[in-house]
Amino acid sequence: MWNKTKSLQLSLLLVKVLFVFVPLLMTCVPVIAEWYDAVYGEGVGFLDGSVYWPLSITLYLAAICAMVCLYALHKLLGNIKKDEVFTPTNCKCLRIISWCCILAAIPFGLLGIWRFLSFIVALAAAFFGLILRVLKNVFEKAVELKEENDFTI
């Protein structure tokens, strides 16, 4: 039977798997960028030419954001596992995750100069970051209400 505990354990397991997978994928960035440049060399963008270096830099920056995001997500899930949901620490984790999404959108937006399709990835990352900012604000308000309620007799 599927329950909340198993769902939380699955989420933690997936975060740990990604902790291993993202650095491994970072070692493949030159190969991925070279392949993309060879297959889609004549892309549509404001600038023509090779996208090897812009794509490589973008993927490395996105991977750094992903690792920071995974660390904060692991901490958030760990707190939830300990039944610490509406805490300032969790608000901080959500803030970090949202900023990582927004920061990852920047290099993808710049890559859009070479490949317009990258603008879609940047927009999706920025939109996800915005949604997380709203969720973080909701959590902060819940923390405020919880603290106020704790002081009420």
Dump pLDDT digits (tens) for 20-40. 999 999 999 999 999 998 888
As a whole number, mean pLDDT of residues 70-82 equals 97
- For the chain, where are the alpha helices, taking DSSP H only? 4-27, 29-39, 52-81, 88-111, 117-151
Q: What is the pLDDT of residue 138?
A: 96
Q: What is the pLDDT of residue 150?
A: 81
Tokens of 151: 């002081």
Grade residue 153 by pLDDT with cuts at 50, 70 and 90.
Answer: low
As a whole number, mean pLDDT of residues 78-102 equals 96
Neighbouring C-beta atoms of residue 148, cutoff 10 Å: 9
Q: What is the pLDDT of residue 152?
A: 75
Q: What is the C-alpha to C-alpha distance for residues 88 and 90, in angstroms, rounded to an integer?
A: 5
Burial of 72 (0-12, 13-18, 19+ CB in 10 A): buried
Report which of residues 153 and 149 the model is more confident about: 149
